[in-house]
Amino acid sequence: MRVRPNRLKKEEWVQSFRQEVLQYPAVLLLAPQGISAREDLQIRRRVKALQARYRVVKNRLARLAFQGTPLEKFSDALRGMTAVAYHTDGVALAKLVRDLMREYTHLAFKAAVVEGQLFTDKQLDLLINLPSKESARAQLLGLFQGPAARMVRLLAAPLQQFLAVLHQASAQRAQESAQEGGSPMAELTKEQVIEYLSGLTVTQLVELVKDLEQRWGVQAVTAVPMAVPAAGGVAPAAVEEEKVITYSVVIKDAGQQKVQLIKVLREIFPELGLKEAKALVDAAPKTIKEGLTREEAEDLKKKLEQAGATVEITSK
């Protein structure tokens, strides 16, 4: 039986698209119904500026490409006109989509799958407000450190409680397995715990932090480096919390080249729309970005000054 050339091309497209999109941990589905060709081009440029990818796809072919993968969860959202945007940073992409929806009212968010987690059309804000994986891990470590964020302790009680909970669960499963005639489970090792925690997605980390906060009656704090005990095994009674200095960049005056400054701002922050960038310029003096290192702040200051702005760096 001969296979039609059209069918071969479609199969090749499905395979190629599947391989490409699965390389990205964050995939968003959009509904570009009613978007003009000019608006479509502008949206593509904005997505490209974020170093993300954007494609308008046929639902039937996309469904074939997603079959048997975590993106299969999109099945209910593959209706009507569909565009697929994908990126390494789900939160950054979701923020851009939110801004694009404000500018192009015909554009709508359908769903997202980020690190295997499905977000429905009602959960865009939930996705936008997710912390980075690094921040979520820092919160988890903060729970383990507990009061050690301000004072070094020889024993990290929350961590020991966490390991005890895991050990208790493992022992219970082993007992149940033995009663059912199966082989008992081995005890969890520290390496297994670390491997398990390292494999958690951002949403799973956030949920775990919340569950542990309720279980232990504590609140997560950002982890800080702990002091290393001196030789002989004696740790200092207390250490001052290491002060981390961060810097903010403030546009004091936009200068005379406002159009150029708006252009530079949109190059630096691709998620900004034209209206948002203009509003920042018109609002001077205005803090543009916070929480930077000294080098990042100096680099941003230089770019803004080249566009004619008067810029100040503040620290805290």
pLDDT of residue 201: 76
User: pTM here?
Assistant: 0.53
Q: Domain range spanning residue 44?
A: 5-128
User: Using CA atoms, how far apart are residues 198 and 27, in angstroms rounded to an integer?
Assistant: 21
| Three-state SS at 291 | strand
CATH for 46 = 3.30.70.1730
More confident residue, 165 or 109: 109
> What's the chain's length in residues?
316
Which residue among 71, 95, 128 closes a domain?
Answer: 128
Q: Which one has a higher pLDDT value, 57 or 295?
A: 57
> Considering 79, 112, 128, which residue would you say is the last residue of a domain?
128
What band does 172 get if pLDDT is binned at 50, 70 and 90?
low
> Please, what is the average pLDDT of the chain?
78
Task: Tell which wins on pLDDT, 261 or 236.
Answer: 261
DSSP letter at 219 equals -
In a domain, 225, yes or no: no
Q: 184-194, pLDDT tens digit by residue?
A: 445 667 777 77
- Same-domain check for residues 12 and 106: yes
* Domain annotation covers residue 199: yes
Contact 89, 62 (CB under 8 A): no
Query: Could you tell me which residue, 195 or 242, shows the higher pLDDT?
Result: 195
Q: Distance of alpha carbon 246 from its chain centroid, rounded? A: 21
Q: Which residue intervals of the chain are DSSP H helices?
A: 5-21, 37-49, 59-66, 90-103, 124-128, 133-145, 157-179, 190-198, 202-216, 258-268, 274-282, 294-306
What percentage of residues in the chain have a pLDDT greater than 90?
Answer: 35
Residue 223 is assigned to a structural domain of this protein? no
For residues 76 and 295, which has the higher predicted lDDT (pLDDT)?
A: 76
Crossing angle for the helix pair 59-66 and 5-21, nearest 10 degrees? 60
Q: Which residue has the higher pLDDT, 253 or 169?
A: 253
φ/ψ of residue 111, rounded to 5: -170, 170
32-41, 201-210, 271-280: lowest mean pLDDT where?
A: 201-210
Q: Which residue has the higher pLDDT, 24 or 211?
A: 24
Calculate mean pLDDT across residues 141-154.
Answer: 50
C-beta of residue 44 within 8 angstroms of C-beta of residue 109: no
